[in-house]
C-alpha cells in the first residue's frame, strides 16, 4: 500500500495515548466479534465450547474493524475539542461495531436497561445480535446514535449533508464504504458540497474507507491508481488526506494526525466564512483511509487468505459451532484482543478506557442530533386560511393550485429560517411554487453570472437535478429534527422509490422504540402530473408512486389528492404539522377549476371524502355514484355530471370526491379507513359507482375490495396511454374523459342502455368530434377546454 | 469562457468545409425551430402569419443547437473514416434536433413515407412535432437512430456503454447534458470505462455538453473551476478535450480537430489492445463542449437575455401566435438561417449539403445498431432439460434453485460468447449462480491482486455495486440486439424502478412501430428474496417490484414465481427465448424443497398454474382451495395441507400452485389471463380460497377482483414485518406460516370453527412453541426446519 505522510505532524498521539486508543479499538473489536459469534462465556473465562457459540452465524465482520477504528479516533477529537459530532455509517453492515461503541460509551445501557455493564449484560448484548427477538444485524433505528441504516447502499453522504444543513455547530463524520462509493446516489452526493454554506451550516467530514472489497469483488475506487483517485476527489471539490497501512501503531498515529488536520481545517473554514472574510465555496477536507478488510481477524482459514480479502466480508469462520478447529481459531482470535486488559472481572470497561469516550450528549451514540425528535421545534405556521382563493361558486373560476400553495410556503419559509427547507430537482419554478422566491433564494455556493436569478449561499430552496440528492438531503434534515417538503415531477419521484422504502422502514421501526422521539413527516408535493405533461409526453407520465406508498405500513402512509387550491392549502397545513408519516400530495400546476371555499375545503379535507351536494341530483338514494379523486378526474366527473343532469334529469346522480385516499380502506386496515357503514352510506351497497381516479385504476380496487358494493365499482384511470398531446386528448386516450364517463353510466345503470341509447351515441360522436378538432387545430375544442360548472341551485 | 487549444491542429477543417458544415448545422437548426413553431409556410416563402404558427408551443430549444452541431461534426468524421457511429442523446428534450437530422439524411422519409423530402413533407414534419396524433417532443422510440429517450435523465452513458459491449467496430457518441450530469446514475456511469474491454468491445465517446443551465438554474459542472472539472474527469479515467466558445467558425474548427483527436486516440487504443501490445485499462478520450444554451436563437426577448441563459430552455418566444412582435422576432430568427441557401424551392436539401451526410447504414439515423432487432441473433441455448434435478417424490428432497439455474446459465454463456451477458450488483455468487464462473470470469480492466478470483477483461459477467449501472448497461445491450439477464437482490431492484418504467414505455411504443424490430426481453432474476434474508433483515426485505411491473402495459409485463429448481429452469428458458417483454422471475437461493420432475415442471409452467393432485385430498369439488405462489409460500402451504390431511382427513382440500402470476388476471385484461371458466374450475365459484403469496397480499386481489369467487379469497403475504431472524420466524411474523394457514382454513370453511376448534388451538400452541423454541435456541425447531412432504399416494 502506498503511504502518504499526512500534512500534520504525526505527534498528534503520544505513546500513552496510542496504547490507550489501541486498547479501546480492541475492546470495540472484541465486542463486535462477540456479538457475531457468542451466546455465552462473554469474557472467555472458560475455554470456548460449542454451546457458547451461536448455531446460526449472521453478520458482517469485514467492515467492522475500520468502523471501530474511526470511532475511537473521533472520540479523541471530540474530547480534545468538545466537538459535537455524529457518525453516519455508510457500511451499515457493520452493525456490531456501532452497537459495541454505544455499549462502551454507556449509552446502550441507558437506552436498553436490560443490557447492563456487567458480565450478564455482555452475554445479553452478544446473544441478542442477529438473534430471533433481538436486534438486526445492521446499524438500524434500534442503534443509538444512528440516523442511517446503510442496508441499501448509496445514501450515507446525502444523509450526512442533510444533517449538517442549519446545524452550524455539528460535524457529521460520514464513513463511506468503497462498495457504496460505486452507487449512483453516492457518486452524485459528493457534489453536495456545492450546497453547504459554511456560514450557517455544519460540516461534513467524508471518510472514504477503502478496504478494497465488496461482497465478492474488489472495488473500483480501491483499484484505480491513487493519483486518479486523488484527482477524482479534488475534482469533486475536496482536499483528500490519505491514511494507509496495516500496522496498527502507524495507522493510529497517522489517522490521529489526519483527523486533527481535518478538524483544524473545518474550524478555519467556518471561522473565515462566519467572520465574513471568505465568501467563495471552500474546499473541504476529507479522509481516505486504506486499511485491510477484516483487519485483526483471522489471516487464513482453511488454507485461504481471509484478512485483507473479500473472504472477510461476512463471517470469516463459518463452522465454529460444529468444527472444533474453527472454534479454536475463533477463541484465538477473540483472545488476541486480550479482553482481560479491557474489561474487569465484573465485565465493566476499565476506567482508563472509559475515560477515552466523551461524556453525556457529546457521545456520538447519545448526540441528540441523531434522535432528531428530541430537538424538534414546531414549525411556526401562518394561518393557511389567509391564503385562500375566493370561490364565488363551485367550478366557476380557475387557478393554479400549486401557485396558491407557493404563497403559503413563502411565508412558512420566512417564519422558519432555521428549520424548514424546500427541495426540488430544478422544478420548484416549473411546479409554480415561485412565490417562495419572494422570501428566499436557491442555495448556491458556486460562481454566479449576471443572468442568474435568485441564487445565494443562504437560500432555503435546494435545487439540484437529482431526485436522489433531494430525497437524501431531506431525509437527513428530518431525521435530525427539522422540517421540509420535496416538490417533484410526479413521474420522476419513482427515482427514489427504494429510498422511500428504506425511510418507511426506519419510521415504522422508530415508532416502536420509546426512546426515539417523533420526527417531522416526509412530505411530497407531486406536481407536473400525469395528466398535464404538455411539454414532455410519455416519459413524464407515471402516477405509480401512490401505489408504492400504499404498500407501506398503514401507520405511516398517507396519500392526498386535493382537487383544488383551497383543499391543497388545507392538506398541506395538515401534513406540515404531522409526525412520523410519509405524506404524498398530488396536485396540478396548470389552471384548473376551483370548487370549495376555504371553510368548505377544511370541512371536506377533515372528512377526507364526501358528497358534493351541489353537483349531485340525487337527494336520497342515488341511481349511480360518480366518484372522483384528483384534480383532472374531478373536473371530468363534474363535466359528466353536468351532461347527465341536462340530458337525463331524472337520473339520481350522487357525486363523491375523495381527498384522502386511505379513507377507501377498511378501518381495520388503516387508521384513516372508513367504517363499512359510512362507506356504504356514501357509495351505496348496490348501485353502480363510476370512479374517475388520478392514477392506475387497480389501486382503487385494491383499497376497496372488501366493501359490500365492490362488484359494482368501475374505475377509470391512467392505463399507460400517453404522449405529447393536448389535455383533453390525454384523458380521452385513457377513457377518463367526461363523455366516456357518461357512457360508463349508461352502460352500468339498469335500464339506461335502452332509454339513453341516443345520448350514448352522442357521447361517442362527441369523442370523435373532440379528437378530430384536436388533431386539426393542435389544441382542444374551446367548448371543452373552457367548460365551467354552472350551478343549478 | 476559457478556451483551450485542442491537441490536434485546427486545420482539421478547410474553409470550404467550414462553410458547408455551418450550412448543414443551420439547416438542422432551421428544421428544429420549424418543428417547434410552424404549422405551415415551412420555407417562409411568404411573410409569417399567425395561422402559420402553432397555437400551443411545446418543445425545448435550449439544448438543440448543441445537439445539431455535434451531429454535423460526427457526420464528417463518419464519412472521413467510414466509421460506424450511433448517437445517444442524453438531452432527449432536444427531440427536434434528432428528428431534423434524420430527415436531412433521408432516413426519416424512408421510415415514414408520408413525410417526403419536399415542401409538403417539410410542412408535415413541422406540424406533427408535439402535435396531437403526431410525434412526441423527445427523442423517443419513434425517432430513427435512437436507443434512448432522455426524458428521465441519467442513463445516457450507461446506455452508451451497454451498446458498445461486444460491438468492436462501433463508436457510441454519447452527448451528456450538464443537467443530466448532476444525476446519480450518470455520475456513477463514468466509471463504466473500468468495464470496457478495448480488445472486444467498441468505444464510447462521451461528449459533455456544458451549455450552463438546466430548467431554471445554472448547472454544477458548468460553474466549478475548469481545473476542478478537468481533475474530476481525469479522476474518472478520461482524457478531456475541451472546446469552448460562442463564435461558430472558431467552434467548428476546434470541434472538428477535437473529434479527429478523439477518434485517432480511440483507433490507437483499439489497435494496441487488439494487437496485444496494451493490456492495461486505457485512458479513453472524451470531449467537453462549452457553447451557449439556445445558441443562434433570440438574444433578447421582451428586454431579457435569452441566448446563453436558462431562459432559452423551452420556447424562447412564447406568444408567437398572438403577439405580432414575438412573431416578427420568430421570423427574423428563422430567416437568420437563410433557408433559401439550404433547401431548393421544392423543399429538398441542396445536394452539396446532402453530400455531407453519410450514406446507407453509416447514417447515424439508419445505423442498424440503433434498431437492434435488425441485428438480433437467436441465443444458442442448451436443452434446459439436461440440467434437471432428479425428483423422486414431491417435496422429499431439497436443492438450491438458483444454483441449479447457474449450471444452465454457465452453458448459455459458453455457447454465446458474443451476445449474452449476466449483470449483477456484486451478487452473482451471493445469489448462488456461481456455476457460471466455471465458464467465464467477471469483467475487470483494473489492477488485480493475488487473492482475486475470476476477474478478466473478457469476462461475461458484469458486477458493479450499482443497480443503475447493471440495468442501464443491460438496456443498452438489449436495445442494440443482444441478450442478457440481470440478477439482483429482490429488495434492491426497486433502485431501478424508474428505469424499468422508462424501458417499459420504450418497449410498448416500439411494438407499435412496424420498422422497429423486436428485441430480446429484459429478464430479471430476483433472488435473496424477502423470506430468506438471513444476514441482513428488514432493509433487504421488499417484494414490491412485482407490483410495479404489474402496472405496466399487459403486452409487455410477465411475472413468474417458479416454486423449485426444475420449474425455474423451464421458466428461464422461456424468458430467454422471448422478445419485447419484461420478465420478472423470483426464485430462492437457499435449500428448498423440490416438487416436480422436469416433465411435470414443463407441463406446469406451460399451463402457468394448476392443481397439484398429489398434494390435494379433494377428488372432485373441494371444501377449500389452498393456493400458493412462490417457493416459501408453496412450502408453507404444503405443510399446511399435510397437517390438514392428517388432522382433518375428511376435508376435501385442493392445492393450486401459481407460477405465472398474470394467469390470475382476466383474459380480457392480459394475454396470459385465464378465462373465467377455467379460473372458476380451479378456484371454484364459492369455496374459500386461502392464498399464500410471496409478496404484498393486495396484489393478488388486484389481479383477481373480477373473478366470481373473489369475495372468498383470503390472501396471506408480506405485510412489512421483517428483521434479522430465522426463516420460520419470518413467515410467522407475517402470518404466512403453515399453522396460521391451517387456522385460516378452519376460520373460513363452514362448520369447521366448531368441529376443528381443538385443532385450531393446537395451531395457536404450535406457533407459540415455535416462537419459544426459536428465541431460546437461535434457530428453528428442527421438526419444522426439516419438514418434508410425505407422499400418501
Contact A147, A163 (CB under 8 A): yes
The C-alpha cell 390472501 sits at B715
Asked, for residue B603, whether it belongs to a domain, the answer is: no
Instruction: Count CB pairs under 8 A between chains A and B.
Output: 378
Nearest to B539 among A152, A310, A722 (CB): A152
Residue A653, Cβ density class (10 Å: 0-12 exposed, 13-18 middle, ≥19 buried): buried
Query: So what's the pLDDT on residue B2?
Result: 36
User: How does the average pLDDT of chain B come out, rounded?
Assistant: 96
Nine-digit cell string for B284: 479513453
> In angstroms, how far is the first alpha carbon of chain B from the final one?
83
Distances (CA, A) of B84 to B176, B209, B313, B482, B722: 20, 22, 31, 17, 52
Residues of B in contact with A308 (CB under 8 A): 451
Q: Hey, of B509, B511, B538, B768, which one would you mutate to test binding to chain A, going by the most A CBs within 10 A of its CB?
A: B538
Residues of A in contact with B698 (CB under 8 A): 550-551, 702
For residues A331 and A47, what is the distance between their CA atoms, to the nearest angstrom? 8
Q: pTM of the entire structure?
A: 0.97
Same domain, A782 and A641: yes
Residues of B in contact with A536 (CB under 8 A): 93, 136-138, 151
- Reported as half-sphere exposure (CB side, CA atoms, 13 A), residue A608 has a value of 16
Contact B653, B746 (CB under 8 A): no
Query: So what's the pLDDT on residue B11?
Result: 72
- Interchain proximity B58–A705, CB inside 8 Å: no
Assign 3-class secondary structure to B43-72: CCCCCCCHHHECCCCCCCCCCHHHHHHHHH
CATH number, position B293: 3.40.50.970
Provide φ and ψ at A4, rounded to 5°: -125, 130
Q: Hey, of A180, A453, A778, which one would you mutate to test binding to chain B, going by the most B CBs within 10 A of its CB?
A: A778
pLDDT in tens, B545-563: 999 999 999 999 999 999 9
Nearest to B235 among A130, A229, A542 (CB): A229
Contact A234, B228 (CB under 8 A): yes
Span B642-666, average pLDDT? 97
Distances (CA, A) of A460 to A270, A278, A436, A631, B20: 19, 20, 9, 29, 49
- Interchain proximity A188–B183, CB inside 8 Å: yes
Residues of A in contact with B191 (CB under 8 A): 182, 187, 220
Contact A306, A299 (CB under 8 A): yes
Asked, for residue B8, whether it belongs to a domain, the answer is: no
- Strand A557-560 with A582-586, pairing: parallel
- Strand A522-527 with A397-400, pairing: unpaired
For residues B169 and B180, what is the distance between their CA atoms, to the nearest angstrom? 27
- Interchain proximity A720–B505, CB inside 8 Å: yes
Nearest to B187 among A133, A188, A705 (CB): A188
Residue A53's DSSP bridge partners are: A38
CA distance A310 to chain B (A): 8
Does the pLDDT at position B534 exceed 60?
yes
- Interchain proximity A186–B183, CB inside 8 Å: no
Does the pLDDT at position A9 exceed 80?
no
pLDDT in tens, A748-774: 999 999 999 999 999 999 999 999 999
The residue among B541, B564, B593 that closes a domain is: B593
- Closest residue in chain B to residue A669, using alpha carbons only: B719
Q: Hey, of B61, B64, B132, which one would you mutate to test binding to chain A, going by the most A CBs within 10 A of its CB?
A: B132
Same domain, B364 and B424: no
CB atoms within 10 A of CB A614: 17
For residues A225 and A221, what is the distance between their CA atoms, to the nearest angstrom? 9
Nearest to B446 among A224, A234, A508 (CB): A224
The C-alpha cell 437529482 sits at A466
Under DSSP, is residue B20 helix (H, G, I), strand (E, B) or coil? helix
Nine-digit cell string for B198: 478495448
CA distance B700 to chain A (A): 9
Residues of A in contact with B132 (CB under 8 A): 725-726, 729, 771, 774-775, 778
Asked, for residue B116, whether it belongs to a domain, the answer is: yes
Asked, for residue B4, whether it belongs to a domain, the answer is: no
Query: So what's the pLDDT on residue A792?
Result: 61
CB atoms within 10 A of CB B754: 7
Assign 3-class secondary structure to A163-196: HHCCCCCEEEEEEEECCHHHCHHHHHHHHHHHHC
Nearest to A224 among B223, B237, B723 (CB): B237
Nine-digit cell string for B766: 404450535
Same domain, A55 and A175: yes
Same domain, B503 and B547: yes
Question: Nearest-CA neighbor of A350 among A362, A338, A335?
Answer: A338
For residues A155 and A163, what is the distance between their CA atoms, to the nearest angstrom? 12
Question: Nearest-CA neighbor of B453 among B440, B464, B467?
Answer: B440
Give the burial string for B684-719 (b: 16+ CB within 10 Å, else e). beebbbbbbbbbbbbbbbbbbbebebbebbbbbbbb
pLDDT band at A5 (very low <50, low <70, confident <90, very high): very low
- Interchain proximity A220–B449, CB inside 8 Å: no
Residues of A in contact with B235 (CB under 8 A): 228-236
Same domain, A708 and A744: yes
Provide φ and ψ at A3, rounded to 5°: -100, 145
Does the pLDDT at position B377 exceed 50?
yes
- Interchain proximity B216–A305, CB inside 8 Å: no
- Interchain proximity B182–A534, CB inside 8 Å: no
- Strand A304-305 with A300-301, pairing: antiparallel
CA distance A447 to chain B (A): 6
Residues of B in contact with A140 (CB under 8 A): 537-539
pLDDT in tens, B599-636: 999 999 999 999 999 999 999 999 999 999 999 999 99
Same domain, B362 and B437: no
pLDDT in tens, A296-333: 999 999 999 999 999 999 999 999 999 999 999 999 99
Asked, for residue A378, whether it belongs to a domain, the answer is: no
Residues of B in contact with A538 (CB under 8 A): 136, 140, 151, 505, 509
Span A786-790, average pLDDT? 93
- Interchain proximity B495–A498, CB inside 8 Å: yes
Does the pLDDT at position A726 exceed 90?
yes
Contact A458, A441 (CB under 8 A): yes
Same domain, A450 and A580: yes
Residues of B in contact with A433 (CB under 8 A): none
| Adjacency order of strands within the sheet including A609-611 | A609-611, A653-658, A624-629, A689-693, A713-716
- Interchain proximity B548–A498, CB inside 8 Å: no
What angle do helix axes A598-607 and A565-577 make, rounded to 10 degrees?
50
Does the pLDDT at position A373 exceed 60?
yes
The residue among B564, B593, B622 that closes a domain is: B593
Nine-digit cell string for B403: 444454483
Question: Nearest-CA neighbor of B630 among B531, B704, B714?
Answer: B531
pLDDT in tens, A82-137: 999 999 999 989 999 999 999 999 999 999 999 999 999 999 999 999 999 999 99
Nearest to B492 among A149, A152, A182 (CB): A152
Nine-digit cell string for A398: 380557475
Same domain, A330 and A354: yes
Residues of A in contact with B719 (CB under 8 A): 553
- Interchain proximity B182–A464, CB inside 8 Å: yes
Under DSSP, is residue B236 helix (H, G, I), strand (E, B) or coil? coil
User: How does the average pLDDT of chain A come out, rounded?
Assistant: 96
- Interchain proximity B215–A539, CB inside 8 Å: no
Residues of B in contact with A468 (CB under 8 A): 183-184
Asked, for residue A37, whether it belongs to a domain, the answer is: yes
pLDDT band at A534 (very low <50, low <70, confident <90, very high): confident
- Interchain proximity A701–B699, CB inside 8 Å: no
CATH number, position B778: 3.40.50.920
Nearest to B508 among A215, A216, A720 (CB): A720
What residues contact residue B640 under an 8 Å CB cut-off, 6+ apart?
B626, B690, B738, B739, B741, B742, B745
Nine-digit cell string for A319: 463452522
- Interchain proximity B220–A187, CB inside 8 Å: no
Nearest to B184 among A184, A492, A696 (CB): A184
CB atoms within 10 A of CB A128: 18
Residue A222, domain extent: 20-370
Give the burial string for B492-501 (b: 16+ CB within 10 Å, else e). bbbbbbbbbb
- Strand B420-424 with B483-489, pairing: parallel
For residues B498 and A158, what is the distance between their CA atoms, to the nearest angstrom? 20
Same domain, B150 and B286: yes
For residues A41 and A48, what is the distance between their CA atoms, to the nearest angstrom? 7
pLDDT in tens, B394-419: 999 999 999 999 999 999 999 999 99
Asked, for residue A58, whether it belongs to a domain, the answer is: yes
For residues A509 and B465, what is the distance between their CA atoms, to the nearest angstrom? 27
- Interchain proximity A184–B537, CB inside 8 Å: no
Nearest to A698 among B134, B505, B702 (CB): B702
Q: What was the ipTM of the complex prediction?
A: 0.97
Query: So what's the pLDDT on residue A7?
Result: 46
Same domain, A582 and A654: no
Nearest to A309 among B228, B451, B548 (CB): B451
Q: Determine the Cα angle at B192 with ends B190 and B196, to 5°.
A: 135
Question: Nearest-CA neighbor of A640 among A479, A464, A767?
Answer: A767
pLDDT in tens, B24-74: 999 999 999 999 999 999 999 999 999 999 999 998 999 999 999 999 999
CB atoms within 10 A of CB A560: 27
Same domain, B180 and B277: yes
How many domains are contained in chain A? 3
- Reported as half-sphere exposure (CB side, CA atoms, 13 A), residue A546 has a value of 31
pLDDT in tens, A167-200: 999 999 999 999 999 999 999 999 999 999 999 9
For residues B527 and B540, what is the distance between their CA atoms, to the nearest angstrom? 11
- Closest residue in chain B to residue A774, using alpha carbons only: B132
Nearest to B468 among A184, A217, A539 (CB): A184
Query: So what's the pLDDT on residue B536?
Result: 83
CA distance B315 to chain A (A): 10
pLDDT in tens, B289-331: 999 999 999 999 999 999 999 999 999 999 999 999 999 999 9
- Interchain proximity B55–A502, CB inside 8 Å: no
Query: So what's the pLDDT on residue B517?
Result: 97
Nine-digit cell string for B470: 447493471
Residue A323, Cβ density class (10 Å: 0-12 exposed, 13-18 middle, ≥19 buried): middle
Contact A475, A499 (CB under 8 A): yes
Same domain, B699 and B577: no
Does the pLDDT at position A747 exceed 90?
yes
Asked, for residue A706, whether it belongs to a domain, the answer is: yes
Residues of B in contact with A550 (CB under 8 A): 698
Contact B29, B353 (CB under 8 A): no
- Closest residue in chain A to residue B770, using alpha carbons only: A132
Nearest to A429 among B216, B308, B553 (CB): B216
Residue A657's DSSP bridge partners are: A610, A628
CA distance B553 to chain A (A): 6
Q: Determine the Cα angle at B711 with ends B709 and B712, to 5°.
A: 70
For residues B104 and A613, what is the distance between their CA atoms, to the nearest angstrom? 59
- Interchain proximity B218–A455, CB inside 8 Å: yes
Amino acid at each position: 500500500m502506498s503511504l502518504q505522510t499526512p500534512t500534520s505532524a504525526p505527534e498528534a498521539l503520544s505513546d500513552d495515548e496510542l496504547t490507550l486508543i489501541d486498547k479501546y479499538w480492541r475492546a470495540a473489536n472484541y465486542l463486535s466479534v462477540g456479538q457475531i459469534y457468542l451466546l455465552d462465556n462473554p469474557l472467555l473465562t472458560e475455554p470456548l465450547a460449542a454451546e457458547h457459540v451461536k448455531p446460526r452465524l449472521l453478520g458482517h465482520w469485514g467492515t467492522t474493524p475500520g468502523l471501530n477504528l474511526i470511532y475511537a479516533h473521533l472520540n479523541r477529537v471530540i474530547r480534545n475539542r468538545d466537538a459535537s459530532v455524529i457518525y453516519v455509517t455508510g457500511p451499515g453492515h457493520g452493525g456490531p461495531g456501532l452497537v459495541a461503541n454505544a455499549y462502551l460509551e454507556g449509552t446502550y445501557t441507558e437506552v436498553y436497561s436490560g443490557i447492563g455493564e456487567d458480565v450478564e449484560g455482555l452475554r445479553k448484548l452478544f446473544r441478542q445480535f442477529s438473534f430471533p427477538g433481538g436486534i438486526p444485524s445492521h446499524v438500524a433505528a434500534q442503534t443509538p446514535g444512528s440516523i442511517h441504516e446503510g442496508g441499501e447502499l448509496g445514501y450515507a453522504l446525502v444523509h450526512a449533508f442533510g444533517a449538517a444543513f442549519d446545524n452550524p455547530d455539528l460535524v457529521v463524520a460520514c464513513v463511506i464504504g468503497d462498495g457504496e462509493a460505486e452507487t449512483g446516489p453516492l457518486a452524485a452526493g459528493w457534489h453536495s458540497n456545492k450546497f453547504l454554506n459554511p456560514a450557517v451550516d455544519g460540516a461534513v467530514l467524508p471518510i472514504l474507507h477503502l478496504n478494497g472489497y465488496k461482497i465478492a469483488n474488489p472495488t473500483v475506487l480501491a483499484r484505480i491508481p491513487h493519483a486518479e483517485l486523488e484527482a477524482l476527489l479534488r475534482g469533486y471539490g475536496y482536499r483528500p488526506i490519505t491514511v494507509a497501512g496495516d500496522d496498527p501503531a502507524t495507522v493510529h498515529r497517522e489517522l490521529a494526525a489526519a483527523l486533527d488536520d481535518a478538524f483544524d481545517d473545518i474550524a478555519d473554514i467556518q471561522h473565515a466564512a462566519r467572520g465574513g472574510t471568505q465568501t467563495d465555496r471552500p474546499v473541504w477536507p476529507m479522509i481516505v483511509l486504506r486499511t485491510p478488510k477484516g483487519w485483526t481477524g483471522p489471516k487464513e482459514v482453511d488454507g485461504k487468505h481471509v484478512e485483507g480479502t473479500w473472504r472477510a466480508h461476512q463471517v470469516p469462520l463459518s463452522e465454529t459451532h460444529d468444527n472444533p478447529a474453527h472454534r479454536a481459531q475463533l477463541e484465538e482470535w477473540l483472545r488476541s484482543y486480550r479482553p482481560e486488559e479491557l474489561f474487569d472481572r465484573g465485565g465493566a470497561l476499565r476506567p482508563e478506557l472509559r475515560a477515552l469516550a466523551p461524556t453525556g450528549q457529546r457521545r456520538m451514540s447519545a448526540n441528540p442530533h441523531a434522535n432528531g425528535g428530541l430537538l424538534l421545534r414546531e414549525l411556526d405556521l401562518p394561518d393557511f386560511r389567509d391564503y385562500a382563493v375566493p370561490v364565488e361558486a363551485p367550478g366557476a373560476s380557475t387557478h393554479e393550485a400549486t401557485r396558491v400553495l407557493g404563497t403559503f410556503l413563502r411565508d412558512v419559509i420566512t417564519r422558519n429560517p432555521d428549520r424548514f427547507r424546500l427541495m426540488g430537482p430544478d422544478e420548484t419554478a416549473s411546479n409554480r411554487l415561485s412565490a417562495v422566491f419572494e422570501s428566499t433564494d436557491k442555495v448556491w455556493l458556486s460562481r454566479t453570472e449576471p443572468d442568474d436569478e435568485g441564487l445565494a449561499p443562504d437560500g432555503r430552496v435546494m435545487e439540484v437535478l437529482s431526485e436522489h440528492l433531494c430525497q437524501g438531503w431531506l431525509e437527513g434534515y428530518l431525521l435530525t429534527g427539522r422540517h421540509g417538503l420535496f416538490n417533484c415531477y410526479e413521474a420522476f419521484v419513482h427515482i427514489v422509490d427504494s429510498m422511500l422504502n428504506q425511510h418507511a422502514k426506519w419510521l415504522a421501526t422508530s415508532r416502536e422504540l420509546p426512546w426515539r422521539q417523533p420526527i417531522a413527516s416526509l412530505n411530497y408535493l407531486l406536481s407536473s402530473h400525469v395528466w398535464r405533461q404538455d411539454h414532455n409526453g410519455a416519459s413524464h407520465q407515471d402516477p405509480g408512486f401512490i401505489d408504492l406508498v400504499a404498500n407501506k405500513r398503514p401507520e405511516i402512509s398517507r396519500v392526498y389528492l386535493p382537487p383544488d387550491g383551497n383543499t391543497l392549502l388545507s392538506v398541506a397545513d395538515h401534513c406540515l404539522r404531522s409526525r412520523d408519516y410519509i405524506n404524498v400530495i398530488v396536485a396540478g400546476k396548470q389552471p384548473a377549476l376551483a370548487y370549495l371555499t376555504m371553510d368548505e375545503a377544511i370541512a371536506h379535507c377533515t372528512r377526507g371524502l364526501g358528497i358534493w351536494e351541489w353537483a349531485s341530483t340525487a337527494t336520497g338514494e342515488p341511481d349511480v355514484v360518480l366518484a372522483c379523486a384528483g384534480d383532472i378526474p374531478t373536473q371530468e366527473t363534474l363535466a359528466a355530471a353536468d351532461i347527465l343532469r341536462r340530458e337525463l334529469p331524472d337520473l339520481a346522480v350522487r357525486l363523491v370526491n375523495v381527498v384522502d385516499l386511505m379513507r377507501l380502506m377498511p378501518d381495520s386496515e388503516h387508521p384513516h379507513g372508513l367504517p363499512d357503514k359510512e362507506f356504504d352510506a356514501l357509495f351505496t351497497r348496490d348501485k353502480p359507482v363510476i370512479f374517475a381516479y388520478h392514477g392506475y385504476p387497480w389501486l382503487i380496487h385494491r383499497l376497496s375490495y372488501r366493501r359490500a358494493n365492490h362488484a359494482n365499482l368501475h374505475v377509470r384511470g391512467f392505463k399507460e396511454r400517453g404522449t405529447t398531446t393536448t389535455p383533453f386528448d390525454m384523458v380521452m386516450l385513457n377513457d377518463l374523459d367526461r363523455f366516456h364517463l357518461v357512457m360508463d353510466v349508461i352502460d352500468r345503470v339498469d335500464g339506461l342502455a335502452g332509454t339513453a341509447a341516443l345520448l350514448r351515441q352522442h357521447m361517442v360522436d362527441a369523442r370523435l368530434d373532440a379528437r378530430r378538432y384536436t388533431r386539426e387545430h393542435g389544441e382542444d375544442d374551446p367548448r371543452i377546454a373552457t367548460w365551467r360548472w354552472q350551478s343549478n341551485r
